[in-house]
Structure 1
């Protein structure tokens, strides 16, 4: 069993920043499909999408010292991804009118930067944010979430439920 397998993304980034290069491999394997899909949906050319995808992980490597572990890793890598796509489109002189704006409470788009941003900026506590990201963006089951959060499975369900209720309330109040 891989010693890094059960670490959170944020813990893996800390290890990577400390020189544990295997932590990067775990992050890459964990997120490569999601990031590639994110890019591919926005760039219809497979060669360009592959180039952008490689640039994202190169940029992650080069800017790893800038990562702040108090924020979600997924938000950070999707920000890198979004910026790489925008830079590509600007270079190609393609007008980008807007990025996906399809976030609806209860139907979190698994690769939506906006959904991650809404969670990060919400008034949820750190465990609620982490639980929602694990459940809806990393598609983890409650057993895994409970192990990562170091709580019982029933309490992990409660944390996710409470987080969704708070998000709904915030959404309705706006």
Structure 2
């Protein structure tokens, strides 16, 4: 639940010269931006760099925000374009669970805590690998709903459809994700459930 002044009120103050107010928007949306950036790159440092870049770009473009949609919707667009530009520049390699180093690290850790961390990362990695097998549109709607925690109404605005269509698209994307998980990651899914 959002407390304090609304986004539009903060933006108005920033544009009137109270630049320090921008910190309220950064605090309010830093997890949102970081979560989306992390969807594009598995490297936390890269995601943090992208998030910082996003907030700088958003600050510089704040006068362009017309308030026709929620600030988070406008910010989402900046995040995705910044992520895509970042990845094109860096040509970041995608690491797979097939990489033997992952298992060597897991084998060399004695504590149950470390093993649990590797298991959690494995689950996230399997999910991310499955998401990469989906179409861009399917992966985007699943990311928006589950990781960026956007409402169906907001997702509709972002992708340009009404909320009911967004709900249908989300349902179909979940079905396709389930099919990809069962087809390509059946062993991993059994290990997660079992």
Q: Residues 170 and 61 of structure 1: is their aligned pair in 2 closer, same or farther, counting only changes over 3 Å?
A: closer
TM-score calculated relative to the size of structure 1: 0.57
Q: Residues 122 and 14 of structure 1: is their aligned pair in 2 closer, same or farther, counting only changes over 3 Å?
A: farther
What is the SS of the residue equivalent to 2:146?
coil
Correspondence for 1:168: 164
Q: Does 1:67 pair with 2:65?
A: yes
- Runs (4 or more) in structure 1 with deviation over 2 Å come to 92-103, 107-110, 112-117, 119-123, 167-172
Distance in structure 1 (CA, Å) of the matches to 2:91 and 2:51: 19
Correspondence for 2:79: 81
TM-score calculated relative to the size of structure 2: 0.52
Give unpaired runs (5+ residues) of structure 1: 124-166
Which entry has the higher C-alpha Rg, 1 or 2?
2
Question: CA shift at 1:79, angstroms?
Answer: 0.7
The answer to whether the 8 A contact 2:145-2:151 is kept is: no
Cα RMSD for the two superposed structures: 3.3
Q: Residues 102 and 170 of structure 1: is their aligned pair in 2 closer, same or farther, counting only changes over 3 Å?
A: closer
How many residue pairs get aligned? The number is: 123
Deviations 1:65-101 (A, max 9, x none): 1111222100111111011100011113469972623
More helix by share: 2
Q: Does 1:101 pair with 2:107?
A: no
Question: CA shift at 1:108, angstroms?
Answer: 3.6
Deviations 1:21-53 (A, max 9, x none): 232111111111221122123211222212111
Give unpaired runs (5+ residues) of structure 2: 94-131, 169-194
Q: Residues 92 and 117 of structure 1: is their aligned pair in 2 closer, same or farther, counting only changes over 3 Å?
A: same
